[in-house]
Every structure is written in structure tokens, then in C-alpha cells.
Copies of this chain bind each other. A is one copy, B any other.
Amino acid sequence: MKELLIHLNKAFESKARLGIMSALMVNDKLDFNALKELLDLTDGNLASHLKALEEQGYLEVQKQFVGRKPNTTYGATPEGRKAFGEHLSALEKLISGNR
């Protein structure tokens, strides 16, 4: 059991983080509003989870202008994809141990 749990990554524990990473595994890039819409989170809540994932090196953030409006997009880094994949594999093993 310990050996199984050790592979779960604390960075992805919360529902919001699982949702953000899942959305960015499937979509190369999403902007703030698209993520907010997909995940049904408040601005503050989403922003703080994005920041935490960026600080861990799991997300990359690109700021640009669309016309005159600033637009920020988020994408999973290769490290983020790898780490999230490992987290999902650990969850899979935990689930299959329960079935």
C-alpha cells in the first residue's frame, strides 16, 4: 500500500488540479476563460491552482495580445505530462487493487 501511495503526486490531489491537467492533456492550449468554463471554478480559485502548477514546472503560460486585448494561454509542459501520467497510473493501480 505504501509503495502504491508513494507514486501519487500531491500536486494533483485536488479535484481542480485533476481537472486542469486533464483538460490540458487533451487540449494543447487553453486560455483562462476556457478553463474556467470547463471546470466551473471561480477566478481566484482557478488562478491559484494554475500558479501552483506553473511553479512546479507542470504548466507553461503564454501571454499575448489578441487585437488589443491581453490573452493568456496555458499548456502542460513535457514534465507536467509525464508527472500527470505517472499520477494517473498510480491511481489506476489503486483502483484495480480495489476491484
Contacts and interface: CB of A to CB of B under 8 A. Distances in A.
Contacts of A22: 1, 94, 97-98
A39 interface: yes
A98 B5 contact: no
Contact of A2 (B8, B39, B88): B39
Q: How many copies does the complex hold?
A: 2
| Among A18, A19, A92: residue with most chain B CB under 10 A | A18
- For the side of the interface on A, what is the size category? 20 to 34
Interface in A19-41: 19, 22-23, 25-26, 38-40
Interface of A: 1-2, 4-5, 8, 10, 13-15, 18-19, 22-23, 25-26, 38-40, 84-85, 88, 91-92, 94-95, 97-99
